Structure 1
Amino acid sequence: MLPQNDWLNITATIVPTSFGLQSFLFSLEIIVAVAVIFFLWTINRFTKPLHKFTKAAERLGVDLHSEPLPIYGPVAVRATATAMNKMQERIQDLIQARTQMLAAISHDLRTPITRLKLRTQYLDEGELQQKIIKDLDEMEAMISETLAFAREDSRSEQRVNLDIVSMLASLCEDFADTGQDVQYIGPQTRVLINGGSVSLRRVFTNVIDNACKYAGSVTVDLHAEGDEVHILFDDNGPGIANAQLDKVFMPFYRGEHSRSRETGGTGLGLATARDIIRAHGGDIRLSNRPSGGLRVTVVLPG
């Protein structure tokens, strides 16, 4: 230890850095910075097209009429996007051909059914005549639904800003006026969405009508989740087997409960509903409620 108030002086010589070393370090910093920038640019060049490609492919999986995939980016991404666009065109052509064939067959069946209905007037009035007329009416209804499904194109309908709360409340009142136990229990404040009023009203009417056939009561609720609007249709019916929850959206598929003469139906209602909702950028799904009954959830962009 140094005595109190004593000083210790240290002298050192600073060796100046050579100019060559300074230039080397500066050049190294520039090289590293350029390398980092180039690395980030390369990563972005590959990942950005892939990200957009993934989003576009997801849209294609929901809506076959979505915009074609953009053709840009690395060679591999451009080639894949081109192949996806060609596949989309082929699928659209295939569906269009199937739809035209379905519409033509359904249209041609109307004529013989009309003739048969006229000929039943010459039958003796009785139970047999009534059964034949009932069967012909059912066939005619099936053909009408098939034509409606084949010609369905809600994209051609003008989209407007509409109050979904007002539409749902009005529909529930209409069903209640006919003696059905249908209630709207959602919010009363306006919730605006952009969509086709005719096609959406058709979807909601079909969902409520189906629920009324198989259940004693139906409630309709609505709530917003982020930028989406969720509409819940709950009934107290028997529900649907879990294995059939996805199958009921297939055209012409009918579960066990809908095969009876009393309920009728062609199995096209939910298929058409899904097409309309997906054309609006949303989706529709079914689930069995833990307390019993079926829940139909319609999700639409807010």
Structure 2
Amino acid sequence: MISRSQGFRLQSLGLFLVFACFATAYGTAWLWSASSNGWRDHLTRSYVTGVSLYDSLRTRADPPVNVDIQTLSQTNQDLVSQREFLQLPGVPKPAFVTHVSLKGQGHDPVSGETLALVIVSDSLRYNVSELVSNERQSAAQKLGRVTQLLATYCSEPILYARMGAQDWKHVDGRAVWGCDAAPTDYRLLAVLLAIVSMTIFTTLVRDTSAHFERFARTLRNHRRLGGPQRYPVQGPEELRDIVQAVNQYLGRERDQIAKRATVLSGVSHDLGTPATRLRLRAALVQDAELREKFEADIDSMTGMIESVLTYTRAELNEEAPRELSLTSLVEALVDDYQDTGQPVTLAALETPSFQGGGSVFMSNAGRGTLPSEQRILVSARPISLKRAITNLIENALKYGRKAKVELVASADHATITVEDEGSGMTAAEIEAAVAPFTRGDNTQTIEGYGLGLTIVATVAEQHGGALSFEAGTAGMRACIKIQRH
């Protein structure tokens, strides 16, 4: 079935991916840079405000912009002195209290004054010990570092400060270092944008590549059992053009094979009448030796035509596949030969075993076997497969005197092996004889037309497998390996 979905050109997809990658990279970098610069400015502004706040507390000057300083009432002064911070108005309950003591160093002109600072927060306790222990910084710089730390986290801290012997003051700088004052951070969005874009681009590339991979896989198996007669036209425009060309080629190939089969069928049919007349006339020949030669030539002629016709029909692959028991098929073939007294035997089927897992009751893993009556099921063309196995058995009987058939299987493949008692040919010589009309040097006195192994190899390929040869214990082994799924 041909897909009607419109395809796209790989060139267009490549240009789109290039521009999309560039736009995504630019957008991600801009979001990251804008967020980093915004946070850097926010932290710098908080630091400068903290430095200015120290001077305002020390000299009672006007507070920095967006910072409010209010002196606590006498009642609240007493509560702070008694460290009853949770009793102060506006303090969250429960709360985390952080005490900070800032004192100027020797180079500070006001080194005698100490700034006591209390930070009350409902969400965290600030780690300011490392910030205020640097002896090379002034007290103003240390307070700047503290307010910078407050701006680092999204919280709403309440500050109480006292410079030297002055009164406690409530400092409200949430407009500078509070959560609402923090810039919007797009860095997580930039990371998500990069991940989503990479996922989309990777999916596009993998999906486009998958079209080619699927087509290549099905094209390799186009002669395999159940393979498509025509491939769906889908995917990029370049692939659609290739698929259409392959479909046209396969159509012409099937037409040529069908025409060849039709011609051979016609020739076989047309030769039937003159062959019959030749047999009748040969029967009138008085010379027995000459009559036998005539009849042998007629049999050879008709047998060769039938062999070619059989091979051509095998190439057409017209038989519908169905599920069958390969075990029963092989056993029936061997029984037929044994019923006629032929030296054909079937090796005992191996009973597969498996190893189980351990349990709380047993330290060792258990082992088990499948039932001996298990059957090897395959999806195959029974007539074609039966013809292939028969050809191997016939070859073993003609050239090797005996035939021993063996059937083994795995989860993916089944292998039928036919071993003879030695034909005098090597595996390489027999593999060379798979070509059509090719026979070995030791087969001149044996009837045949050189198409038996060719038909076997064709049937094996149509079932997703192959025909191979190897040395056995007694003679040569011919192996048909077919795919089970």
The TM tier, using the shorter chain, reads 0.7 to 0.9
Distance 1:171 1:290, change over 3 A: closer
- Alpha-carbon distance in structure 2 between the residues aligned to 1:209 and 1:203: 10
Partner of residue 80, structure 2: none
Distance 1:78 1:244, change over 3 A: farther
SS in structure 2 at match of 1:41? helix
Partner of residue 10, structure 1: 129
Partner of residue 114, structure 1: 276
Distance 1:19 1:10, change over 3 A: closer
Among residues 239, 255, 259, which one is paired with 2:440 in the alignment?
A: 255
In the alignment, structure 1 segments of 5+ residues that lack a partner are 1-8
- Alpha-carbon distance in structure 1 between the residues aligned to 2:276 and 2:444: 24
Deviations 1:82-138 (A, max 9, x none): 222222122222222222223333333333222221111221142222222222222
Q: How much does 1:213 deviate? A: 0.3
Q: 1:274 and 2:457 equivalent?
A: yes
Among residues 244, 248, 257, which one is paired with 1:95 in the alignment?
A: 257
Distance 1:46 1:28, change over 3 A: same
Which amino acid is the alignment partner of residue 295 of structure 1? Answer: R
Pick which of 159-168 and 203-212 moved more: 159-168
Q: How much does 1:52 deviate? A: 0.4
Partner of residue 123, structure 1: 285
Distance 1:259 1:66, change over 3 A: farther
Q: How much does 1:208 deviate? A: 0.5
Partner of residue 192, structure 1: 377
TM-score using structure 1 length: 0.82
CA contact (8 A) 1:100 1:150 kept: no
Pick which of 36-45 and 49-58 moved more: 36-45
CA contact (8 A) 1:154 1:276 kept: no
Which amino acid is the alignment partner of residue 282 of structure 1? Answer: G
Distance 1:241 1:108, change over 3 A: farther
Deviations 1:167-188 (A, max 9, x none): 2223223323333321100316
Q: How much does 1:58 deviate? A: 0.7
Pick which of 115-124 and 172-181 moved more: 172-181
SS in structure 1 at match of 2:417? strand
Among residues 467, 478, 484, which one is paired with 1:285 in the alignment?
A: 467
Distance 1:254 1:19, change over 3 A: farther
- Alpha-carbon distance in structure 1 between the residues aligned to 2:312 and 2:151: 86
- Alpha-carbon distance in structure 2 between the residues aligned to 1:64 and 1:241: 34
- Alpha-carbon distance in structure 1 between the residues aligned to 2:228 and 2:435: 21
- Where do residues 53-202 of structure 1 align in structure 2 (5 Å cutoff)? 53-60=215-222, 62=224, 66-152=228-314, 156-157=318-319, 159-187=321-349, 189=373, 190-202=375-387
Name the one with the larger helix percent: 1
The structure with the largest alpha-carbon Rg is 2
Q: 1:41 and 2:160 equivalent?
A: no
SS in structure 1 at match of 2:222? helix
Q: How much does 1:65 deviate? A: 6.3
Among residues 415, 440, 448, which one is paired with 1:265 in the alignment?
A: 448
Partner of residue 217, structure 1: 402
RMSD (CA atoms): 2.9
- Alpha-carbon distance in structure 1 between the residues aligned to 2:232 and 2:397: 45
- Alpha-carbon distance in structure 2 between the residues aligned to 1:242 and 1:296: 9
- Where do residues 212-251 of structure 1 align in structure 2 (5 Å cutoff)? 212-238=397-423, 240-251=425-436
Distance 1:242 1:196, change over 3 A: closer
Deviations 1:16-63 (A, max 9, x none): 25744x433133223212321122212222221122011111112657
SS in structure 2 at match of 1:213? helix
SS in structure 2 at match of 1:23? coil
Q: 1:206 and 2:391 equivalent?
A: yes
SS in structure 2 at match of 1:16? helix
Deviations 1:61-94 (A, max 9, x none): 6579634233222222222222222221222222
Distance 1:99 1:250, change over 3 A: farther
- Alpha-carbon distance in structure 1 between the residues aligned to 2:306 and 2:384: 17
CA contact (8 A) 2:234 2:240 kept: yes
Deviations 1:150-182 (A, max 9, x none): 444785545443322222223223323333321
CA contact (8 A) 1:233 1:295 kept: yes
Which amino acid is the alignment partner of residue 300 of structure 1? Answer: I
In the alignment, structure 2 segments of 5+ residues that lack a partner are 1-127, 132-145, 153-180, 350-371
